[in-house]
């Protein structure tokens, strides 16, 4: 009886990601004094764990979107560019300063907006969704390879973002805008509630409709899915559009957090981190079965790791190298070789990661 429960846990899609996260947290518990300390300040919680959640929120969002794209057998390299576009639109709508019009410092730094906040949010989301639609069209209708198709927006997207900001780093002074990245509800960061909402939306879409099954089917065998009457083109379109949507929200949160929109650097390498999160979560890059929750955990792993590095005082210049070590560990952990050796050790049989999400 106990054997089969343990076996079920081990075979579940979430086992390895949660184990990995647990290992990092264990390390923190033992070697990093005060890591888990949570205090209350100004009526809200603060501490390393809160940082993980707040800083990691944008990554969790794009990881959710990226999961669906990768599950269809594709990839979206333009996520960082979408973040940049969305952030730039936000900043510009607050303070349109097109061209070389001379604007006094007073106007630039005023805590006011030229566009109502709801409109800004709508414009942001629309922009990201449009980008996703564009990618989706290239992949599903023009039949361009996902890596190439999204590469185009990745390269051109930051240029487009800079078009909006006129090449300048725009600082945002409108305080209500800071809410998304810096606000708190019930003591917890606003961003995590946003993530939770998007996650819920995605989860319902995937589990309470046939979309989840179709995405996995299309990723596993696009032709058979088509022959079975699945509209695989629209499934792919949906996945990329949703990914763009997630990217735009991430851009909103990020620019709100740092109070600025730097078209060149905001969201830099986010697509790579997102892909990493999804892979850590156990979804194969070739497509097929996927788990949204596992990808979110993957994102948490990356951010817990990062915050841990900061906390134990690893100098900023070593952070990237440390991340490389993390990827290496992930690679080794997930390689067929390790899996097979562990299988022999635990005498696993039959389906691997067999549980449906």
Partner 1 sequence: MSQTQNVLSMKGITRSFPGVIALEGVDFALRKGEIHALMGENGAGKSTLIKVLTGVEQPDSGTIELDGQLVQVRSPQHSHSLGISAVYQEVNLCTNISVAENIMLGHEPRRFGSIDWRKMNALARQALTKLDIDIDVTQPLGNYSLAIQQMVAITRSLEISNARILILDEPTSSLDVNESKQLFDVMMKLKDAGIGIVFITHFLDQVYRVADRITVLRNGKLVGTYDVSSLPRIDLVAKMLGRSFTDLDAMSKVKSQGQQAQGTTRVVEAKGLGLKGSLEPIDVSIEAGEVVGIAGLLGSGRTELANLLFGIDAPDSGSLTIKGQAVSRFSPSESLQHGIALCPEDRKAEGIVADLTIRENIILALQARYGWFKFLDTSTQYKIAQEYIELLGIVTPSADQLIKNLSGGNQQKVILARWLVTHPQLLILDEPTRGIDVGAKAEIQKLVLQLAAEGKSIVFISSELEEVLRISHRIIVMRDHKKAAEYSGDANDQVIMHAMAGEV
Partner 2 sequence: MAQRIRLLVRNYGPLLTRILIFILAYAIGGWMYPKMQRPQVFLNLFINNGSLLLVSIGMTFVILTGGIDLSVGGVLALTTTASAYLLLHGMSPWLVMPLMLVMGTLLGFVMGCIIQFLKVQPFIVTLMGLFFARGMAYLISLVSITIKDSVYKSLALTAIPVPLGGDEYVYLPTLVAPLMLVVAIYLSFFTRFGRTLYAIGNNEQSALLMGLAVTRTKILAYCFSGFCSALAGIVFGISLLAGYGQFAAGMELDAIASVVMGGTLLTGGAGNVIGSLFGVLINGTIVSILQFNGTLSSWWTRIGVGVLTLLFIGIQSLFYARRKQH
Ordered DSSP codes for 95-144: S---TT----HHHHT-S--SS-HHHHHHHHHHHHHHHHHHHHHHHHTS--
Is there binding between residue 231 and partner 1 (CB under 8 A)? Answer: yes
Nearest to 15 by CA among 250, 328, 347, 282: 282
**In this chain, which of 50, 62, 82, 211 binds partner 1, going by CB under 8 A?**
211
Binders in 178-217 for partner 2, by CB under 8 A: none
Considering the rule CB under 8 A, would residue 336 count as an interface residue with partner 2?
yes
**CB of 154 closer than 8 Å to CB of 94:** no
For the chain, the helix, strand and coil percentages under 3-state DSSP, each to the nearest 5: 70, 5, 25
DSSP state of 43: T
Sign of the torsion angle spanned by Cα atoms 206, 224, 144, 233: negative
Here's the x/- map for partner 1, 318-357, by CB under 8 A: it reads as ---------------------------------x--x-x-
Instruction: Determine which residue in the list 194, 202, 211, 276 makes contact with partner 2, applying CB under 8 A.
Output: 276
Nearer to partner 2, 26 or 325 (CB): 325
Which residues within the stretch 257-286 sit at the binding site for partner 1 (CB under 8 A)?
none
The answer to whether 119 and 145 are in contact (CB under 8 A) is no
Distances (CA, A) of 214 to 65, 226, 239: 16, 10, 11
Cα gap 127→144, rounded to integer Å: 22
Per-residue contact string for residues 107-146; x = within reach of partner 1 by CB under 8 A: ----------------------------------------
- Residue 169 CB, nearest approach to partner 1 (Å): 42
> 44 pairs with which residues across the strands?
41
Site for partner 2 in 281-320 (CB under 8 A): 285, 315-320
* Chosen residue from 22, 108, 122, 147 binding partner 2 by CB under 8 A: 147
Q: Cα 317 to the chain's mean position, in Å? A: 24
Residues 6+ apart with CB under 8 A from 206: 68, 212, 215, 292, 357
**Contacts with partner 2: how many residues (CB under 8 A)?**
48
Residue 157 within binding range of partner 2, rule CB under 8 A: yes
Q: Which stretch binds partner 1 (CB under 8 A): 43-51, 64-72, 227-235, 325-333?
A: 227-235
Q: Residues 32, 327, 348, 355: which binds partner 2 (CB under 8 A)?
A: 327
Q: Are 76 and 243 in contact (CB under 8 A)?
A: yes
Beta bridge partners, 126, equal none
Q: Choose from partner 1, partner 2, none: what does 32 bind? Cβ within 5-8 Å by kind.
A: none
Of the ranges 7-15, 16-24, 216-224, 246-254, which one interacts with partner 1 (CB under 8 A)?
216-224
Locate 209 and state its tokens: 């409709």
Name the residue nearer to partner 1 (CB basis): 234 or 311.
Answer: 234
Alpha helices in 166-231 (DSSP H): 179-182, 190-207, 211-220, 222-227
With binding defined as CB under 8 A, does residue 340 bind partner 2? no
Question: What residue ranges bind partner 2 (CB under 8 A)?
Answer: 75, 138, 142-145, 147-149, 151-160, 162-163, 167, 263, 272, 275-276, 279, 285, 315-325, 327-328, 330-332, 334-337
Interface with partner 1 (CB under 8 A) = 208-211, 213-214, 216-217, 220-221, 223-231, 288-289, 351, 354, 356
């Amino acid at each position: 009886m106990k054997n089969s429960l343990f076996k079920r846990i081990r075979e579940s899609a979430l086992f390895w990601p949660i184990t990995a996260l647990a290992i990092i947290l264990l390390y923190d518990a033992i070697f990093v004094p005060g890591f888990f300390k949570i205090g209350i300040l100004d009526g809200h919680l603060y501490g390393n764990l809160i940082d993980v959640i707040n800083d990691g929120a944008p990554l969790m969002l794009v990881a959710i979107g990226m999961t669906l794209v990768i599950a269809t057998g594709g990839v979206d390299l333009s996520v960082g560019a979408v973040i940049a576009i969305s952030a730039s639109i936000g900043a510009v709508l607050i303070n349109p300063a097109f061209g070389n019009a001379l604007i006094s410092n007073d106007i630039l730094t005023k805590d006011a907006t030229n566009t109502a906040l709801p409109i800004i949010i709508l414009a942001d989301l629309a922009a990201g969704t449009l980008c996703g639609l564009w990618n989706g069209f290239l992949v599903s209708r023009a039949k361009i390879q996902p890596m190439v198709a999204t590469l185009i927006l990745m390269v051109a997207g930051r240029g487009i973002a800079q078009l909006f900001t006129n090449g300048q780093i725009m600082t945002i002074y409108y305080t209500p805008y800071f809410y998304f990245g810096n606000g708190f509800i019930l003591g917890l960061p606003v961003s995590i509630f946003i993530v939770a909402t998007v996650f819920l939306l995605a989860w319902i879409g995937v589990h309470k409709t046939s979309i989840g099954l179709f995405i996995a089917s299309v990723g596993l065998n696009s032709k058979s899915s088509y022959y079975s009457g699945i509209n695989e083109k629209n499934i792919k379109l949906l996945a990329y559009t949703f990914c763009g949507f997630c990217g735009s929200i991430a851009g909103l949160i990020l620019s709100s957090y740092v109070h600025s929109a730097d078209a060149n650097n905001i969201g830099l390498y986010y697509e790579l981190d997102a892909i990493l999160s999804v892979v850590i979560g156990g979804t194969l890059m070739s497509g097929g079965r996927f788990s949204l929750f596992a990808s979110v955990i993957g994102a948490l792993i990356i951010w817990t790791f990062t915050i841990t590095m900061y906390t134990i005082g690893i100098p900023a210049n070593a952070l990237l190298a440390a991340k490389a070590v993390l990827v290496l560990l992930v690679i080794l952990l997930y390689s067929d070789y390790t899996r097979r050796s562990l299988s022999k050790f635990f005498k696993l049989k039959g389906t691997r990661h067999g549980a449906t999400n």
